[in-house]
A = this chain, B = another copy of it.
Amino acid sequence: MSDRAGPSGPPRVETTTVRVRYAETDRQGIVYHANYFVWMELGRTDFLRKSGFPYPDLEAAGIVFAVSEARCRFRGAAEYDDEVEVATRVREVRSRSVVFEYELRAGERPLASGETTLVALDVERRPRRIPDELRAALRR
């Protein structure tokens, strides 16, 4: 069972801003690539919060999201102190997983685009259904 997000009109996009930390740069003078995956998580966490389902509340209710796949195409280089905008949207909501998409930019400069698949697990890390209200909120 799978639905494309946003059956009517374009999907909702939420934007999260992250200022680049010194610790995130490497000796090439730019941001070390693995940190983009951390920023994508900040994007989807913020998306969930703005959807009315803060992720800490989900975990407290016994729903853990685990990343089952992650990818990123790097187009530009984020630099120290840049204000990076992470634009997050839901591409697909399934009964037990969600696919998020991300576009990252610093001002006009495109940095990267990425996507992650999250699977819902219970506290014993077994796959579980995503509650209907959450699925509905993600599609909105």
Whether the pair B73, A68 counts as a contact (CB closer than 8 A) is: yes
Q: Are A69 and B80 in contact (CB under 8 A)?
A: no
Per-residue CB contact flags for chain A residues 87-119 toward chain B (1 = under 8 Å, else 0) read: 000000000000000000000000000000000
Q: How many copies does the complex hold?
A: 4
Query: Does A72 interact with chain B (Cβ within 8 Å)?
Result: yes
The reply to whether A66 and B70 contact each other, CB–CB distance below 8 Å, is no
* A67 contacts chain B at the CB level, 8 A cutoff: yes
How many angstroms from the CA of A66 to the CA of B64 in the assembled complex?
A: 26
- A65-86 vs B: 1/0 string, CB under 8 Å? 0111111111001001100000
Q: Pick the residue among B22, B25, B55, B67 that contacts A45 (CB under 8 A).
A: B22
Residue in B21, B27, B45, B71 whose beta carbon sits within 8 Å of that of A38 in the complex:
B21
CB of A14 closer than 8 Å to a CB of B: no
CA distance A29 to B49 in the complex (A): 21
